[in-house]
Amino acid sequence: MGRIIITTGALAVGVVHLVWPALTIDAITLALIGIGILPWIAPSIQRIVQSIDIPGVGKVELREAKETAEAALSRAEEVEKKLSEREKQSLIDAQALALLERATEDLDDPSEQTLTPEDLQELKKRLKEASRSVKVIAFVRARNLRRLYKRKPRLAERSIPIFEALIESDHSEEFHRNHGQLGYILKDKKEKEYQRALEELSNAIRIRDRVGDVGFEAYEFNRAVCRIATDHDFKQGERSSSRMVREILADLRRAAESRFWQEAIKRPPAPGEKNVVLDWLRLNDIDPDTLEPK
C-alpha cells in the first residue's frame, strides 16, 4: 500500500510537471519519475543505492524515506481502527438508549407496554457495554422510575435491572449511588426483599466511606428499616437482642446527623401508614431524642 501511494504521488507530480505549459522534460521531472519507480525496485537495489540526489530538492535517504512512509501508514491504520471502535460504540449506545426509552416510558395505558423480560435482559447487557455518558442517562432515568414505587409499583420495579447493570459494569466500585438506589427499590417494591436491600445499602455505605463522599444519611436510615423488618424478635412483639439494638442504633444515630432524618425518625405516621422506626424505639424503651448529635 505504501509503495502504491509513493509511486502514484511521484508519477502524478511528474506528469503535471510535463503537461504544464511552462515546463519541459528536465532533471526534476526525471527525478520524480525515478522516485515513482524506485519503491518497486528498492528491495533489490537497497544494498547498493543508499540515497538519491534530486536537483532543487536535495539528498534523499532511501531508508529514511521508507521508514517515514511506513510510519505514516501505521498512523493511518491506527486512526482507522479508532474510527471503527467509535462506530461500534455508537451503535451499542444507540441500542442501549432505544431499549432504555422503552423500559422507562410511563404510558397511560399499561397494556401498550410491549417490553418483555427478554428485552430487559438485553437492556442489561447493552448497558454494561455502553459508554459512561449513556450510563449517567440510565442512572437518572432509573432513579426517576424508582421514585414511582407508591403510585406505579410495577413500573418502578423496571429500575431494578438497570441498577443491576450499572453495578455490574462498575468494576472498580466507584459509584455508591447505584447500590443505594437498588437498595431503596428492593425495600419499597411490592414483594419486599429486605435482606438483599440491606446488603446493597451496606455496599453503598462502604463505597461512600471509601471514596470520601459526605452525606447520604438515607443509606443508614433505610438500612435500619431493613434491620427492623428482618428482626424476628420485633416481629413477635418482643424486644430486640443486644446485638440488633447496637446495629440499629448505630444506623439511626448516623442518620440523625441529618435534620431531615431526625424529624423522619420522630414523625407520627400518616393515617394508614406505619413508622416502624418509631415503633421499634418505643418497644425497646429508647427515647428518639437521644439519637440526636450532642
Instruction: Give residue-wise pLDDT tens across range 136-172.
Output: 999 999 999 999 999 999 889 989 999 999 999 999 9
3-state secondary structure the chain: CHHHHHHHHHHHHHHHHHHCCCCCCCHHHHHHHHHHHHHHHHHHHCCCCCEEEECCCEEEEHHHHHHHHHHHHHHHHHHHHHHHHHHHHHHHHHHHHHHHHHHHCCCCCHHHCCCCHHHHHHHHHHHHHCCHHHHHHHHHHHHHHHCCCCCCHHHHCCHHHHHHHHHHCCCCCCCHHHHHHHHHHHHHCCCCCHHHHHHHHHHHHHHHHHHCCCCCCHHHHHHHHHHHHCCHHHHCCCCCCHHHHHHHHHHHHHHCCCHHHHHHHHCCCCCCCCCHHHHHHHHCCCCHHHHCCC
pLDDT exceeds 80 at position 72: no
pLDDT exceeds 90 at position 250: yes
CB 134 within 8 A of CB 141: no
Q: In sequence order, which residues have a C-beta less than 8 Å from that of residue 3 and are 6 or more positions away?
A: 39, 40
pLDDT category at 63 given cuts 50, 70, 90 is low
The per-residue pLDDT for 166 is 94
Report which of residues 4 and 101 the model is more confident about. Answer: 101
Report which of residues 261 and 44 the model is more confident about. Answer: 261
Q: Considering only the top CATH level, what class is 87-291? A: mainly alpha
pLDDT exceeds 90 at position 294: no
Give the residue extent of every domain in the chain.
2-56, 87-291
pTM: 0.69
Instruction: Give residue-wise pLDDT tens across range 194-247.
Output: 999 999 999 999 999 999 999 999 999 999 999 999 999 999 999 999 999 999
